[in-house]
Amino acid sequence: MSSTQNPWQEDRGNKDRSITRPGGSEIIDPETGHEAHPAPGTPFLLAENMTGGYGAADILHGCTLKVEKGQIAVIVGPNGAGKSTAMKAVFGMLKLRQGRVVLDGKDITHLSPQDRVAHGMGFVPQVNNVFPSMSVEENLEMGAFLRRDDFRETMEQVYDLFPVLKEKRRQPAGELSGGQRQQVAVGRALMTRPKLLMLDEPTAGVSPIVMDELFDRIIEVARTGISILMVEQNARQALEIADMGYVLVQGANRYTGTGQELLADPEVRRTFLGG
């Protein structure tokens, strides 16, 4: 990765300033600050009527996403549909002018991304999602930085899920292949024992075989009771494993249904899946 980059340029972080934007959404109520509120009777994750964008123009227009416990939800759609933006909005990385985000019965609309991690969200960015000079094991340790208890058990679980990581645990993550690096990234996010794991195009740039393997692992993660929200370019394969699929067009929900329903829908097939 680094060999193709210009050595004269800086390379650090994933160039997404919104991740570190302190204070979460712009519509912060000073009274509530960083507290989450109970919001009973909602799905495990409810991101309702999200409207907003990075600057003056809105990218999302009343987008709604729901994920039930232990289920896999996939966001698909054409380029520029706001798929990643929708996920970043769920994670508190951009301004929401309207709407709310509820996780596990708590309204977290006003929390910063870091606070959302503490509340049980795990986020795997699309690129630059590992600490390249640190070993695989250290990457996982850093994932567990917020935890003060013994996290060795979680680390063993991650190693069980991705056996190749155990083999390479002393190797710097930057020296691994693309697929292995994605496994490190997912493993790092799992170290906080999240209730909701968000993956931004986890299969971008990996071979079809590795992609299938990653999807299998993601199903395994979901079986342990962790909800998964995923943005995917490989729409067909992703919908096959999805309990719930969202087709976004221009920042709004176009089609919603179970993965199989969407795959069977002739309209969706024709417009988004290429026949």
Partner 1 sequence: MDLLNAIVVLLNFVVIPAASYGAQLALGALGVTLIYGILRFSNFAHGDTMAFGTAIVILVTWAMQAAGIGLGPLPTALLALPFGIAATAALVLATDRVVYRFYRRQKAAPVILVIVSMGVMFVMNGVTRFMIGVDEIRFEDGARFLINATEFRKMTGLKEGLAFKTSQALTIVTAVIVVAALFWFLNRTRTGKSMRAYSDNEDLALLSGINPERVVAVTWIIAAGLAVIAGTLYGLDKAFKPFNYFQLLLPVFASAIVGGLGNPLGAIAGGFLIAFSEVGLTYAWKKVATYVLPESLAPDGLLQILSTDYKFAVSFALLVVVLLFKPTGLFKGKAV
Applying CB under 8 A, the residues found at the interface with partner 1 are 7-14, 16-17, 19-20, 113-114, 117-118, 123, 125, 128-134, 138, 141-143, 145-146, 188, 192
Q: Is beta strand 106-107 parallel, antiparallel or unpaired with respect to 37-38?
A: antiparallel
Q: What is the CA radius of gyration of the chain?
A: 18
Tell me whether residue 10 or residue 31 sits nearer to partner 1 (CB atom): 10
| Shortest distance (Å) from residue 93 CB to partner 1 | 10
CB of 254 to partner 1, least distance (A): 30
3-state secondary structure of 184: helix
Q: Which is nearer to partner 1, 59 or 130 (CB)?
A: 130
- The smaller minimum CB distance to partner 1, of residues 13 and 33, is found at 13
* Cβ 78 vs Cβ 146: under 8 Å: no
**φ and ψ at residue 214, rounded to 5 degrees:** -65, -40
Closest CB to partner 1 among residues 96, 191: 191
Q: How far is the CB of 123 from partner 1 (least distance, A)?
A: 6
Question: Can you tell me the distance from the alpha carbon of 213 to that of 124, in angstroms, rounded to the nearest whole number?
Answer: 17
When the beta carbons of 77 and 143 are compared against partner 1, the nearer one is 143
Instruction: Give me the least distance between CB of 251 and partner 1, in Å please.
Output: 24
Q: Within 10 A of 251 (CB to CB), how many other CB atoms are there? A: 23
Q: How far is it, in rounded angstroms, from Cα 74 to Cα 203?
A: 13
CB of 140 to partner 1, least distance (A): 10
Q: Strands across the sheet with 72-76, in order?
A: 121-124, 196-200, 227-231, 72-76, 244-249, 252-257
Question: Cβ 227 to partner 1, closest distance in Å?
Answer: 18
Count CB-CB contacts under 10 A for residue 275.
Answer: 6
Cβ closer to partner 1: 147 or 223?
147
Give the H or E element holding residue 138: helix 136-143
Dmax of the chain from CA atoms?
Answer: 53
